Every structure is written in structure tokens, then in C-alpha cells.
Structure 1
Amino acid sequence: MISTLVGAAARDGEKQIEQNVIRRRERDVLGRMLIPFARNLASWRSTAEAWSDPQLARELQGPFDGDGPTLDRPAGNLA
């Protein structure tokens, strides 16, 4: 009887370990699938917030002052 109980407990332990491994793999796969979606959602949300504010939207459309500072060409042989 004791050996039967020990054997059943061992099988239950093995099943639990197997289920934990399966859950961990599923979570890893789901995480890899959701990370790009979450990044895109964050970008979309930032864009939506900017365009939902009329004043900010006007400012982001320009006009802008010039093209920025003039930069000198690098000196020397770059190759």
C-alpha cells in the first residue's frame, strides 16, 4: 500500500513538473508574439495623443526654421 502511494505521489509530481514546463514554454512563445504588438501599440498611442491635440498637431506640421546648422565636411581620407 505504501509503495502504491509513493508511486502515485511520484507520478503526480512528474505530471506537475511536465505541466509547469509546458506552461513556461507557452508563456515564452506568447511573450515573443506579444512584444512586437506591445511596441506597436505604444507607438500608435503616442501618435494618437499627438494628433488628438489640435495645437500640438499644428506645431508638429511645421513650418520649421531652416534645415539646422551647417556642418563642415570631414577632413582627411575617410576610405
Structure 2
Amino acid sequence: MSQPAHKIRTGVLQVTIWRNHGEKGNWYSVIPSRGYKQGDAWKETDSLGFDDLLTMAKLFDLAHTWIMHQHAADAKGRKESEQAAA
């Protein structure tokens, strides 16, 4: 299984960013999760409580910024590859 491109975590909340490859280049998807302990085992859910919402909004904001930087790096890499091939 492939690895995520990036993870951003605070406390039990996390967003996982996946890089996907398509005909038009890379695109990114984000999966939110909340960790919780059931007995001795840690599990994850995508269900959030009221107190999680603002923190998750901040994690989404950070994920958005990270993806914007990746889009810029991807575009720069494509441009350099096209120039090298010419």
C-alpha cells in the first residue's frame, strides 16, 4: 500500500493528505480522522464532536496551505521537465 503524502496532527485529530496521479498531473485528497481508545487499542473514526470542529477547521486550513505549495512545486517540476525535454 502506498504512503500518504503528508499528515498533520494535533492531539487526537489528524488530516491525512494523499497524492493521486492522473493524466493532467497530481491531485490531492484529504481524509480527516479522530483517534480514540477502546480498551487498550487505539482506533480511528471520521466522526467529530462539537469540541473538535474548530480544531479540525484549522487542520483543514493547514492542509490547504500544504497542498497549495505542492501544486506550485508540481507546476515548477513539470515546467523544468518540459524545458529539459525541448
Verify same fold: TM over 0.5. no
Q: TM-score normalized by structure 1?
A: 0.42
Q: Which structure features the higher share of strand residues?
A: 2
Between structure 1 and structure 2, the one with the greater Rg is 1
Normalising by the residue count of structure 2, what TM-score does the alignment of the two structures yield? 0.39
